[in-house]
């Protein structure tokens, strides 16, 4: 389901991308657009690298894939989240 564009003719690739992303998320990884981009490129290259000749797997495409195929809403990381102090547990309790 969802818009997959050039990958629509390659359901095996789409299924592997979706499974990999879901498995990472289930295991506790934060799956953001740059990570999704790397995974998508890796899976596409593994199955059929020639697809990348005429298809640019841009971060915008990955964002769209997340929304339409995965039903995920990618968000931009905040600077505050990147600067959690080492004693955050003590401060918050």
pLDDT in tens, 3-27: 678 899 999 999 999 999 999 999 9
Q: For residue 66, tell me if it sits in a domain.
A: yes
Q: For residue 82, tell me if it sits in a domain.
A: no
Provide the pLDDT for residue 79.
60
pLDDT by residue (tens digit) across 53-87?
988 899 999 999 999 999 998 876 556 566 777 78
Q: For residue 71, tell me if it sits in a domain.
A: yes
Q: For residue 13, tell me if it sits in a domain.
A: yes
CB contact at 8 A, 3 and 69: yes
Q: For residue 32, tell me if it sits in a domain.
A: yes
Segment 20-44 shows an average pLDDT of 95
Range of the domain at 34: 5-76
């Amino acid at each position: 389901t969802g818009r997959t564009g050039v990958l629509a003719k390659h359901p095996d690739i789409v299924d592997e991308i979706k499974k990999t992303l879901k498995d990472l998320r289930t295991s506790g990884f934060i799956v953001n657009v740059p990570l999704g981009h790397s995974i998508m490129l890796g899976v596409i290259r593994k199955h059929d690298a020639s697809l990348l000749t005429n298809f640019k797997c841009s971060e915008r495409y990955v964002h769209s894939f997340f929304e339409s195929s995965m039903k995920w809403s990618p968000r931009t990381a905040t600077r505050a989240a990147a600067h959690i102090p080492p004693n955050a547990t003590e401060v918050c309790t």
